[in-house]
Each structure stands twice: as structure tokens, then as C-alpha cells.
A and B are shown apart, each in its own frame.
Chain A
């Protein structure tokens, strides 16, 4: 009843100000378009893709009759693990330096900020070119999972740095002061007090980077290669799920399989976003 009354009153007000009414409608329309596109995309991929998710697509080997995505799943796992292994410690340590050690207004800190901003703006194809020039050609590693993983670890470094920085900054200073007051040193305070309270925020960043790695294509085609094979070592070449999907849809012969892979990718991204969101909420509540 009450709401109904409010609505009528609002409509009466809008009658006097048609300009405002038009603007309001435009805002509503644009928001509707944005979310409609997203839901249509998800629904379209799921409806067309789920029937194509057949058990034989998870067979161990890829053949031209059965474009299995299992090798690509394994490659994706290997590359994700390797990239995180390099980028996570590096990112966390640099964030610790920036937040806990560097003095305010330090010129060096300005330079680090500028370079991380630059890194986060570089398109993935440029990372791919760099990886192909440096790891593949100059270091003579050839197309390999390691070359791909190192390229991606540079790519996700700014993301991990920024999220860790924010998580560390959100730890109240009273925690640090309390720890110093009890006689703990700087290093002990950082590792025993500050880092543990920042864990949910850091994890949220790490999981977002997993999302970027899983979805990355352009940086991997010419570093990790595009062969759909189970890797024998980190020096063997192999395609991740996203690269595999690009190959399938490019050839035009495997559209059903491409639908299936896009369902898997979409579900992965949904899960990743959900976990990262939950963690971030936990951090916000904990403070």
C-alpha cells in the first residue's frame, strides 16, 4: 500500500519534469541492456553447451575424432600452478615492501607504482610477443609450459601486488602497535600479525589471477604453444583450455566441442568470482 502510494507520487512529480523522466528512463534502459546482455550470454552458452558436454570429451588423449579437452585441462592446471608459484611470493613481498617498509613520499615507490600501472595496462598480445622473443627464442626454451607460465606470472604480478597492498593497508595500525608493544620486531610483526589478518584479501587477489590465467589466450599461443597433448615435462608445449577453445572454433569443424569448452570456462569463471567475492566479504566483515 505504502509503496504504491510512493510510486504514484513519484510519477506525478515526473509529470511536471519530463526531462527528468526521460533521463530516468535512459538510465534504467542502459542498466537493463547491460545486465540483459550478460544474462543472455551466459544462458545462451549454457543452453547450447551443456548438451555437448559428453563424457568422451574428458578422455585422456586428444584425437581428431574425439577433440578431448582433458590434455588442455591438465596444461591449464600446470600453467596456473607454475605462474602462481612465481608471481604470488613476488607480489606479496613487493606489497610488503611498499606498505610496511617504504617511507612515504619515497621516489622509488613512485617508480614502482608507475611500472605496475604500466604492466597492468599492457595488452596480453604484447606479453605474448615478449614471451616469444625472450623465453622462447632468446633463452631457447621453445614453445613450453614454463615459457607460458613465466609470461603469465609477469602479467598477473600487478594484480597480486595491488590486492595484497589493499589487504595490508586495511589491517588497522593498532595491530602493529600492539605487536611492537609486546616486544616483537618488525619482521615478526609482519609475518605473525599483519599477514595473517590480510589473508582473505590476498587470497581474493590470487583467485582473481587464477581467473585471468584460465581465460588467457593471446599471451599463450606463441609461448606455450597450441598442441592438445598431455605434457611430459614443463618444457613440453601444450595448449590451455582457452587456447584449445580458440583452435576448435577457428577450424569451424568442432563447434559442438567449442561450446562444451566454453561451458567449462564459464563455470570456472563463475566459481572463481564467487569464491573471490566471498573472501572479500569476509575481509570486510572481519575488520
Chain B
């Protein structure tokens, strides 16, 4: 029976190997055929003319994710401080399940909410573009990464020994000063791990972004203009693509996958450092 358990445990290794194998085998030849640099750094994506440059999509993903960080990280970290240090005990369970709910809402529902609320709002506020823009996508993604950041940084804050906080109070620091100058720095690497996980979520998010980002495959030109991310590129064109076009989309997936692997690697490093500390 131990052998059965062992084989089951190998399933995840097998799955990762299979995913890597199929993505790379199908994606790398296309990169070679298009030319590695003209694929990664090419600024034009015109499948009809066999021009496949995904630089606009890479930049789109990076910009939208950066926007999500600017919006989501401060709000997320401060909310996690609220949850760990301010929240009255009576309403804590209610708010905790609210953050879990925020994590459980499907991304299509977020996308739909963005489509019917955020897009008209942005269109009305700024008299430029049609509302489907980098800014809209950043705001929505900023909301979507909140539960990840709140959850991870709250547990990091809670794992700081209470004596740190009490010591600071005893030295005459205020509640806020103790938290921001002592507890938060002590929880730093856990908080950063939460932020990095949030970045991974934002860069990999597909449906919500497709519904509100505009999806024009050209270099991003401003926060009120439309952008297309790598994820959107795959989901929009995979349905009808054939031959080299299809392989170029798979290669886009490979690039995205490499981004995610790098982010995962950072998270693993941070977690390891936490464990040693």
C-alpha cells in the first residue's frame, strides 16, 4: 500500500514534467522559425502577414501588473495591518470570511463587474478612449490581488512574537509606531512573499483582463489606451489560429510560463528565508 501512496505522490512531479514538455516542445520550434529576438522584441503582431512580435503583449502584461501593484499593494498591506492589529474581535470572523469570499469570486464575475461598472466609470471620468484601458485593468487586478496579499501578510504579521510589540510600547512608542516601525519590518519577508504571489496572480489573470483591457495588439501608449496582455493574446486567438500562428500563441504561453516560474522561484526563496529566520 505504501507503494500506492508513493505513486500518487509522484503525480504532481509527473504533471509538472508533462506540462513543461508539451509547452516547450510545441512552443520552441515556433520561436526558432520566427527568430528568437524578432519574436520576443518584435513590436508588430500581424498573424495575417506572418509577423509575430509579442513585445507589445509582454509590455502590456508588465504595465498592467505594475498598475495592479501600485493600487493593490498599499491597500492590501494596510488592510492586513487592520486585520491583525486593529480589527475588533467581534467583527473579525465576519471580515475574515469576507476576504476569503473576495478570493473565491470567479474571475469572469470580476471581469463582468469591470465591464458594467468600471469601464463606464473610466469612460465618464476621462474624455479619452472608450473606457477599456490599462487603467481599468490595473484597478480591477488591484482588487483581485487584495485577498492574496491580505491573507499572506496577515499571517506574517501574526507570526511576529508579541514581545516585539510589547517592548516597543514599553519604550513609549504609540500603537502605530510599534506596528509600523517594529512589527511590520519584522514581518517583512512574509509580506514581500504575499506581494510576489499577488504579482503572479495579476500576470496570469486572463478572463477579467480580456473583458476590460481593450486588447489592441500594439505598443501600450498611455494608461487610458487599450492594451493586450500575453494571457489575452492566447485566449483571444487560440480559437481560430492554425499552423505557425497557433504555435506562436503556444510560444506566448511559454514566455508567460517562464515569467511565472521566475516568480515562483522568488516566492520559494522568500519562504525558505522565512523558515530559517
Residues of A in contact with B (beta carbons under 8 Å apart): 13, 17, 19-21, 23-24, 26-31, 33-35, 37-39, 41-42, 44-45, 48, 89-90, 93-94, 96-98, 100-102, 111-112, 114-119, 121-130, 132-134, 138, 154, 157-158, 161, 187, 208, 211, 214-218, 221-222, 242, 245-246, 249-250, 255, 258, 262, 265-266, 269-270, 272-274, 277
Shortest CB–CB separation between residue A43 and chain B, in angstroms?
Answer: 11
Decide if A24 touches B206 in the complex (CB within 8 Å): no
Excluding A158-B12, A217-B207, 9 further A-B contacts by CB distance (< 8 Å) are: A20-B174, A20-B177, A28-B86, A93-B5, A101-B6, A122-B260, A126-B253, A129-B234, A157-B11
State the CA gap A154–B99 with chains docked (Å): 26
Find chain B residues with CB under 8 A from A21 CB.
176
State the CA gap A130–B256 with chains docked (Å): 13
State the CA gap A125–B211 with chains docked (Å): 15
Instruction: Encode contact with A along B2-34: 1 for CB under 8 Å, 0 otherwise.
Output: 101110111111011011001100100000000
State the CA gap A96–B8 with chains docked (Å): 9
Find chain B residues with CB under 8 A from A134 CB.
18, 22
Give the interface SS of chain A, mostly helix, strand, loop or mixed. helix
Number of inter-chain CB pairs below 8 Å: 236
How many residues of chain B get a CB closer than 8 Å to chain A's CBs? 80
Contact of A125 with B104 at beta-carbon distance under 8 Å, contacts A98-B9, A130-B22, A245-B112 already known? no
Find chain A residues with CB under 8 A from B48 CB.
none
Q: Which of B124-132, B159-167, B217-225, B263-271 contacts A (4 or more CB under 8 A)?
A: B263-271
**Chain A CB within 8 A of B170 CB:** no
Instruction: Encode contact with A along B67-90: 1 for CB under 8 Å, 0 otherwise.
Output: 000000011101101110011000
* A-facing residues in B164-214 (Cβ within 8 Å): 174-177, 180, 197, 200, 203-207, 211
Shortest CB–CB separation between residue B139 and chain A, in angstroms?
Answer: 10
Residues of B in contact with A (beta carbons under 8 Å apart): 1-2, 4-6, 8-13, 15-16, 18-19, 22-23, 26, 74-76, 78-79, 81-83, 86-87, 95, 97-102, 104-113, 115-117, 143, 146, 150, 174-177, 180, 197, 200, 203-207, 211, 231, 234-235, 238-239, 249-250, 253, 256-257, 260-261, 263-264, 267-268
Decide if A33 touches B5 in the complex (CB within 8 Å): no
Decide if B267 touches A121 in the complex (CB within 8 Å): yes
Decide if A112 touches B250 in the complex (CB within 8 Å): no
Among B197, B200, B235, residue most surrounded by chain A Cβ atoms (within 10 Å):
B235
Give the interface SS of chain B, mostly helix, strand, loop or mixed. helix
Contact of A129 with B23 at beta-carbon distance under 8 Å, contacts A23-B176, A98-B9 already known? yes
Decide if A44 touches B78 in the complex (CB within 8 Å): no
Decide if A96 touches B109 in the complex (CB within 8 Å): no
State the CA gap A272–B104 with chains docked (Å): 9
* The one of B11, B23, B177 that contacts A126, using a Cβ cutoff of 8 Å: B23
